[in-house]
Chains A and B, each alone.
Chain A
Amino acid sequence: MENCLNHLTSGFTVDGLIQQLINGLSLGSIYALIALGYSMVYGVLELINFAHGDVFMIGTFAVLGVVQRFGLTDQTSFVIVVPALLVAMIAAMGLCAALGFTIEKVAYRPLRNAPRLAPLISAIGVSFVLQAWVATYVSANYFTLPNLIHGEIPILPDVSISYVQILMFVASFAMMFFLQLLVRRTRLGRGMRAVAQDRDAAALMGVNMDRVVSFTFVIGSALAGVAAILWTLNYSFNQTVGAVVGLKAFTAAVIGGIGSIPGAMLGGFLLGLAEALGAGYISSLTCGVFNSSYQNVFAFAFLILMLVFRPSGILRQRVSDRA
């Protein structure tokens, strides 16, 4: 018992906690970006786009390709790195958007009126294809980018926030802002909201369903492209990264309220926090019974609890028979 208490209090510092919070939030911002794609597609089509995570994965490889083309190393000066990264971002966004558009056209559109399970299976098939293609024709190995953006801002003696993390926050908020603009100010955005609310009525009102759906996929995938470049700046990746991150991002979307843009953001941050704090402190809290390898369990547990107690998510007020 004494040992347990010892375990509990040793190593707890406010610094450590703040660092965990920062890490969790920055990871959460990537979840948020990808969750936006899931959320939008689900709102419009009531379909979990299983392949969305893999579109993100393709984006990471696009970034890798550009970085390798430019021959960037961690010694390369900022003057070259920044434009190169911009090119990489545009490449990733473009490739992801095109891919998302194609996938929707080929694999989902023919199944628009099919039973629920059909597009899900189709999405799984697409997911397989994407992962296997990368593994066969690129590599099954893991990759990391060199340290392109170095440096941190120290906040407290033991706490710092890196430039990459700041970039993650800024980028995700900026994207959310643009997305809100897009959804509220443009015609297609209006169409999206209409279709999300009532598909048949929107069709009757003259909304071009096909256009709207394509638009949704394109925007969602482009956001995944942004997430891709942010991911590669900090983490490693191989062809399986899309599956894991995608699942977490979907969880985030559900937590925040599927179909809601601020909801996806909120869900992303919450999930990132839950993971970081959970992995960091679960071992101390449970006296070693659970260890930090249970990280994924937290994400799923969070999801299950949300769906049992508040199925419409945190921000969603609407009652639906969806869950």
Chain B
Amino acid sequence: MVRARGLGVLAAATLLPFAFACGSSSGGGTTASTCKPGSVSYVPSTTASTAALTYAAASNALQTAHQGAGTVLKIGFIGILSGQYTSYGVDEQRGAQLALDAVNAAGGITVGGTTYTLQLDSQDDAADPTKGAQGATKLVDDKVVAVIGGTFSGATIAESKIFSDNGITQISPSATNPKYTSQGFKTAFRVVGRDDQQGPADADFIVKTLGCLNVGVMDDKSQYGQGLADAVNTQVPVDKGTVVDREHVDTNQTDFSAQLTTMKGKNPDVIFYGGYSAQFGPIVQQARRLGIKATFVSGDGSQDADAIKLAGSDAEGLFASNAGPAPSLQPGYAAFAAAYKAKYNADIFQYAPQAFDATNIVINAIKTAGGDKAAILAAVTATNNYQGVAQGYTFTSTGDVKVSIFTIYKVESGAWKAVRAVNLNVS
């Protein structure tokens, strides 16, 4: 009994200071803000020229007919093919497969007298570095000439050493962590921009375009989420905004009310979340239930259909950025989307166009270099303004893409609509 009372006194003693810390202003922002998230206009669609790439919509029959004709050249794919992030990886795998189907349907590639049929060799890395390293080793054993992958940066970085050791070209359609290309591997390439570019683009959008100066930053303490959020956190003050609160959640977390309540007390106009849609959606839902009126912005980890699905009716008015141009600005997007739908009976999830383009860059290299790994690497390195579905690609000396494009999207009537394009030229 005495013990219980003792505990009670202890509890009261710890809670007492909180009671006295009352009265201080609940707002953390010091600058008057001209925040108008509702007033953004949409990126107009251009009259897209249907690309000269042929899509083998009914190519399945043709493909089987061509198999066995000529030498088979294997192109590797490594990405997330299982787990909760499967949608990302499978989407990219499909994009790559469509590129190969198109080539095979057209009779393969004939170089120097040999006709090559292309085959996709897929390995699962489940976003785990160890599994990725093993999958990469399998691809090396299978003698692939180039690899499209990985999906998330962590595993991609682990795989990059193995591909570098074996002289195999690796083009990632979605790894945005700067570290991937700064390791100095000659074989590491990517066809999208980086988080240290995406973050500032998001911050600029929030402060300059939306005019919202009081920003709350939240992340999921994952490699991608924190990296992106840190970049935003650094850029907002540079743009003369204020970061009123910085919160972290855990990737396994499902109850965000503690962090959101603290965030609410600081009164942000905009809350930026660095992380994936699996949590972004529920965070928005719970925030609205708590009465938070702030606008939510996130990065490419949330710019997909899952975010809308999970946020439910609270999805209207969400912003998220994505690497790559808006679909309406991608010259070959409509035709590609149609071919994708025809073969897989599903919509593009996110980075399928990038995977398609990456594969085609490799195919292009094979057209001049044949089946030799080193020659393919040289040809890919020398890629000069290759026009793909999404954009034109030229690689920098580190393997990044010269023209790094990000697009900000907004949810309107239950779908993502492009509102702003950011083009960065990297030398």
Whether the complex brings A and B within 8 Å at their CB atoms is answered yes
Which residues of A come within 8 Å of B, CB atoms? 8-17, 19-20, 23-24, 27, 74, 140-144, 146-147, 152, 158, 160, 162, 164, 234-238, 240-241, 244, 275-281, 283, 291-293, 295-296, 310, 314
Looking across the interface, which residue of chain A has its beta carbon closest to that of B250? A293
- A280 pairs with B26, CB closer than 8 A: no
Report B289-320 CB contacts with A as 1/0, cut-off 8 Å: 11100000000000000100111111000000
Looking across the interface, which residue of chain B has its beta carbon closest to that of A30? B255
CA distance A8 to B19 in the complex (A): 13
Q: Which of B84, B249, B281 has the most CB of A within 10 A?
A: B84
Does B254 lie at the interface of the complex (its beta carbon under 8 Å from any beta carbon of A)? yes
- B285 pairs with A147, CB closer than 8 A: yes
What is the minimal beta-carbon distance from B220 to any residue of chain A, in angstroms? 8
* A/B interface sample: 9 pairs, CB < 8 A: A11-B266, A16-B264, A147-B285, A234-B286, A238-B278, A241-B254, A244-B254, A292-B248, A292-B249
Report B14-55 CB contacts with A as 1/0, cut-off 8 Å: 000011011110101000000000000000000000000000
What is the minimal beta-carbon distance from B279 to any residue of chain A, in angstroms? 8
- B28 pairs with A236, CB closer than 8 A: no
| B230-247 residues at the A interface, CB under 8 angstroms | 245-247
| B207-223 residues at the A interface, CB under 8 angstroms | 221
Query: Given A11-B262, A74-B312, A140 and B255 touching (CB < 8 A)?
Result: no
What are the nearest 7 A-B pairs in CB distance?
Answer: A279-B258, A293-B248, A12-B21, A236-B282, A23-B257, A16-B265, A142-B278
- B28 pairs with A11, CB closer than 8 A: yes
Q: Which of A20, A293, A296 has the most CB of B within 10 A?
A: A293
- A236 pairs with B310, CB closer than 8 A: yes
- A295 pairs with B250, CB closer than 8 A: yes
Q: How large is the interface on B (under 10, 10 to 19, 20 to 34, 35 or more residues)?
A: 35 or more
CA distance A281 to B17 in the complex (A): 12
Query: Given A152-B289, A241-B254, A11 and B281 touching (CB < 8 A)?
Result: no
Does B253 lie at the interface of the complex (its beta carbon under 8 Å from any beta carbon of A)? yes
What is the minimal beta-carbon distance from A248 to any residue of chain B, in angstroms? 10
Query: Given A11-B245, A13-B24, A237 and B262 touching (CB < 8 A)?
Result: no
B residues near A281, Cβ cutoff 8 Å: 18, 262
Query: Given A17-B18, A142-B278, A276 and B7 touching (CB < 8 A)?
Result: no
Does B87 lie at the interface of the complex (its beta carbon under 8 Å from any beta carbon of A)? yes
B residues near A278, Cβ cutoff 8 Å: 258
- B259 pairs with A292, CB closer than 8 A: yes
CA distance A276 to B289 in the complex (A): 16
Query: Given A142-B310, A146-B313, A236 and B266 touching (CB < 8 A)?
Result: no
What is the minimal beta-carbon distance from B164 to any residue of chain A, in angstroms? 31
Report B113-152 CB contacts with A as 1/0, cut-off 8 Å: 0000000000000000000000000000000000000000
B residues near A164, Cβ cutoff 8 Å: 289
- A11 pairs with B22, CB closer than 8 A: no
CA distance A279 to B313 in the complex (A): 27
The count of A-to-B residue pairs whose CB atoms sit within 8 angstroms is: 150
Query: Given A74-B312, A144-B312, A275-B258, A14 and B22 touching (CB < 8 A)?
Result: yes
Q: Pick the contact of A238 from B21, B84, B87, B257 — CB < 8 Å? A: B84
What is the minimal beta-carbon distance from B250 to any residue of chain A, in angstroms? 5
Query: Given A12-B18, A14-B22, A144 and B258 touching (CB < 8 A)?
Result: no
B residues near A158, Cβ cutoff 8 Å: 26, 264-265, 291
Does B86 lie at the interface of the complex (its beta carbon under 8 Å from any beta carbon of A)? yes
CA distance A160 to B290 in the complex (A): 7
- A236 pairs with B281, CB closer than 8 A: yes
CA distance A142 to B279 in the complex (A): 8
What is the minimal beta-carbon distance from A49 to any residue of chain B, in angstroms? 21
Contacts A12-B22, A279-B258 aside, 6 further interface pairs with beta carbons under 8 A come to A143-B310, A158-B26, A238-B278, A278-B258, A283-B246, A295-B253
- B310 pairs with A293, CB closer than 8 A: no
- B306 pairs with A10, CB closer than 8 A: no
Does B68 lie at the interface of the complex (its beta carbon under 8 Å from any beta carbon of A)? no
A residues near B290, Cβ cutoff 8 Å: 19, 160
Does B4 lie at the interface of the complex (its beta carbon under 8 Å from any beta carbon of A)? yes
Looking across the interface, which residue of chain B has its beta carbon closest to that of A74? B313
CA distance A306 to B18 in the complex (A): 24
- B258 pairs with A140, CB closer than 8 A: no
Looking across the interface, which residue of chain B has its beta carbon closest to that of A143? B310
Query: Given A140-B84, A280-B259, A15 and B250 touching (CB < 8 A)?
Result: no
What is the minimal beta-carbon distance from A57 to any residue of chain B, in angstroms? 11
- B7 pairs with A279, CB closer than 8 A: no
Does B413 lie at the interface of the complex (its beta carbon under 8 Å from any beta carbon of A)? no
A residues near B221, Cβ cutoff 8 Å: 293
Does B182 lie at the interface of the complex (its beta carbon under 8 Å from any beta carbon of A)? no
Q: Pick the contact of A19 from B4, B246, B261, B314 — CB < 8 Å? A: B261
Q: Pick the contact of A140 from B86, B246, B252, B282 — CB < 8 Å? A: B86
What is the minimal beta-carbon distance from B54 to any residue of chain A, in angstroms? 34
B residues near A296, Cβ cutoff 8 Å: 250
- A152 pairs with B291, CB closer than 8 A: yes
B residues near A244, Cβ cutoff 8 Å: 252, 254
- B18 pairs with A140, CB closer than 8 A: no
Query: Given A9-B21, A13-B24, A292 and B281 touching (CB < 8 A)?
Result: no
CA distance A187 to B235 in the complex (A): 67
A residues near B313, Cβ cutoff 8 Å: 74, 146-147
- A10 pairs with B24, CB closer than 8 A: yes
Query: Given A142-B84, A234-B286, A292-B262, A160 and B291 touching (CB < 8 A)?
Result: yes
CA distance A260 to B315 in the complex (A): 43
CA distance A275 to B311 in the complex (A): 24
A residues near B291, Cβ cutoff 8 Å: 152, 158, 160
What is the minimal beta-carbon distance from A157 to any residue of chain B, in angstroms? 10
